Amino acid sequence: MALPPGANDGARPRRIGVVAAMHPELAAVLGRMPDEQRQRVAGRDFRVGHWHGHEVVAVLSGVGKVAAATTATLLIERFGVGALLFTGTAGGLGEGVKVGDLVLASSFVQHDMDASPLFPRFEVPLYGRARFDTDGPLSARVAQAARQVLADASATLGVDAVAEFALHAPTLHAGLILSGDRFVATSAESAALRQALPEALAVEMEGAAVAQVCHDWALPFAALRTVSDRADDSAHVDFMRFIDQVASRYSAAVLEAYFSSL
């Protein structure tokens, strides 16, 4: 079997794609790539640079599954990445998943995919599956980096941010994440998702699309999300400040630990 673009036969890919949906989610990450060179393709600025000597292509996917799928395909086809890492925020669904926690995806489901009665609800037509798994070894390395960061969250975020957002004992969770082209922000919607997919830990708008693209290309993919709210009526009122003070800093710190360990 031929290797995916950008891959090699060693322990790590030659080039790694780092993706987030919105600029504030990736801002701190871009600050760690001083030698970045921008290439604009299909309305997206792809930042090509290095991180601890590893080739990195960082880009904003835009919001939603179509934008994310386009971005992932460009990273693979145009920029030849050998692995993909997605970062950013998500709404918490699972019991015990609280604001400030990190959720590492083991698999993704499109919660708004419904081609019934031709296919079972959630199943992607012609794939014979609803779930698209992330890569185990890559996810394990990201998890190790995340635990390292969470062991001293105050050092990463600062004591003021920890106090402002009441981030007490942040935890790493791993499991199913849902994606859909709808921002989930009511208790009724959250309850419906938990009833339909009780294993789900979090919900966002891009990951399942990227997981499907990476499945098509047999490309390693991992996704780590910071929980910004509980995806209900009590969703955080200052979302952008949370991204700036918490989520973006988590992303940069986890990726710093990840790349320094390779």
Calculate the dihedral angle through the C-alpha atoms of 154, 156, 162, 166, rounding to the nearest 10 degrees.
-100
* Cβ-contact 173, 94 below 8 angstroms: yes
Compute CA distances 34 → 30, 61, 71, 227, 244, whole Å.
8, 21, 22, 28, 19
Contacts of 32 (CB under 8 A, 6+ apart): 51, 252, 255, 256
| Tokens 């992330």 found at | 134
Does an H or E element contain 202, and which?
A: strand 202-204
Which residues are the active-site residues? 25, 229
